[in-house]
Amino acid sequence: MIVGIDIYNSMNQLVIPKNTVLDDEIIRRISTFSLPYLKIPVEEKQTVTEEGYNIVDSLDQADQSLSYYERLKCTRSFQTFKKEFLEDTEEIKNCFNDVVTKHLPVNTNLLLERTKQLAAITQDSNIFDMMHNMRQYDDSTYMHCLNVALLCNVMAKWLNFSEEDTNNLILAGMLHDVGKLMIPDSIIKKPGKLTDEEYDIVKTHPAKGYTILKSQNLPECVKFAALMHHERCDGSGYPLGLENKKIHRFARLVGIADVYDAMTSARVYRDSLSPFTVVEIFQKEGLQKYDPECILIFLERIVDTYVNSKVLLSDGQEGEVIMINKDYLSKPLIQTSYGFIDLSKIDGLTIEKIL
């Protein structure tokens, strides 16, 4: 449940802000403050999606003739996620503009709280799909930064980060592209291919981001992530062409989340995004570009969430993902009505999409 109004104690101090998710910690706080009751206003419940389908409590209750992503849109948790996500994107926009134009301090509490609250609405297993379903609404730098922050939050969990490191990685992800605010919109939002000159201008955003954050009271790793998130471990990145350990660890991690989000963005894929295709692109591009400790964990965990999912194969057959092949992450074992297919043994047969 989510608290619908700001909660004050008898001294008129804010105890629980609006939109807080009622987790164990908050429930403890309620009993500590001996609040007699919580008023959670009943909002008029939306009953149909924008597309006109009934909103349901779980995926199984959705119209089974719809695709997986369409069914997800029908769930109440996605509808909550969508509402918060759009509000958060606006908040981030205001926050970034305050930093860049008014030179105000970065509101780190707000950025962290928003990211964590949004993540709490999802289960880690479907956060990627929820993010995918948001692509139709916005394609801005702010949304990209929120996506990367959400991905960093998941990565931090997978890497067993401490709370402090988790917070720092979320902030590093959130602020990595703040330098893009200094690049003209005509280039950032250009729909077609950039000219060489325009691309050279885009490539100045890491240094610009670092300049914006340099004088802020932020952990070093957040500043270095802005400067180095386009560096690649094999030295092929920019602006400095640094290699391996010369690139700050947090910048290497943000780099993975950043590329994942760019690959899966609306411009590249539309409805038919398959996480298995993403893994294949990462592998084709060369895994040696990315943090060796993290890239395999990241890709493995992503495909792991699709075990038991129904998929469509490139030859038109439908089947179910049975087992992930650790040596060929994009080619799992599939069960169809005719038997098992080991995709790693059949050249050219791939997973087209999740059904």
Amino acid identity, position 104: L
Phi and psi at 310, nearest 5°, equal -85, 135
Instruction: Output 137 or 238, the one with its CB closest to Fe ion.
Output: 238
Question: Which residues are registered as beta bridge partners of 143?
Answer: none
* Shortest Cβ 318–Fe ion spacing (Å): 35
Q: How far is the CB of 8 from Fe ion (least distance, A)?
A: 39
Q: Which is nearer to Fe ion, 40 or 262 (CB)?
A: 262
Say if CB 225 and CB 248 are below 8 A apart.
yes
- The answer to whether residues 151 and 261 touch, using CB atoms and an 8 Å cutoff, is yes
End-to-end CA distance of the chain: 30
Which residues in 263-298 are b (16+ Cβ under 10 Å) and which e?
Answer: ebbeeebeeebbbbbbbbebeeeebebbbeebbeeb
Q: Which amino acid, residue 196?
A: D
Select 62 or 95, whichever has its Cβ closest to Fe ion: 95
Residue 215 tokens, joined: 């004088």
237 or 319: whose CB is closer to Fe ion? 237
Beta partners for residue 313, in sequence order: 351
Segment interacting with Fe ion, rule: CB under 5 A, options 13-21, 51-59, 256-264, 331-339: 256-264
Cβ proximity to Fe ion, 146 vs 354, nearer residue:
146
Number of residues in contact with Fe ion under rule CB under 5 A: 2
CB of 174 to Fe ion, least distance (A): 11
Contact at 8 Å (CB) between 188 and 208?
Answer: no
Hey, is 150 helix, strand or coil?
Answer: helix
Identify residue 28 by its one-letter amino acid code: R
Residue pair 234/243 in contact by the 8 Å Cβ criterion:
yes
Our measurement of the distance from residue 291's CA atom to the centroid of its chain's CA atoms, rounded to an integer in Å, reads: 18
Q: Measured from the CB of residue 124, what is the shortest distance to Fe ion in angstroms?
A: 22
Shortest distance, CB of residue 255 to Fe ion, whole angstroms? 9
Query: Is there binding between residue 231 and Fe ion (CB under 5 A)?
Result: no
**Contacts of Fe ion in 134-193 (CB under 5 A):** 177
Shortest approach of Fe ion to residue 234 CB, angstroms? 18
Q: Which stretch binds Fe ion (CB under 5 A): 41-49, 107-115, 251-259, 288-296?
A: 251-259
Rounded to a whole number of angstroms, the minimum distance from the CB of residue 93 to Fe ion is 16
User: With binding defined as CB under 5 A, does residue 258 bind Fe ion?
Assistant: yes
Q: Is 16 or 145 the residue whose CB approaches Fe ion more closely?
A: 145
Instruction: Name the residue nearer to Fe ion (CB basis): 57 or 200.
Output: 200
> What binding mask, one character per residue, do residues 44-83 give for Fe ion by CB under 5 A, x or -?
----------------------------------------
Binding site for Fe ion (CB under 5 A): 177, 258
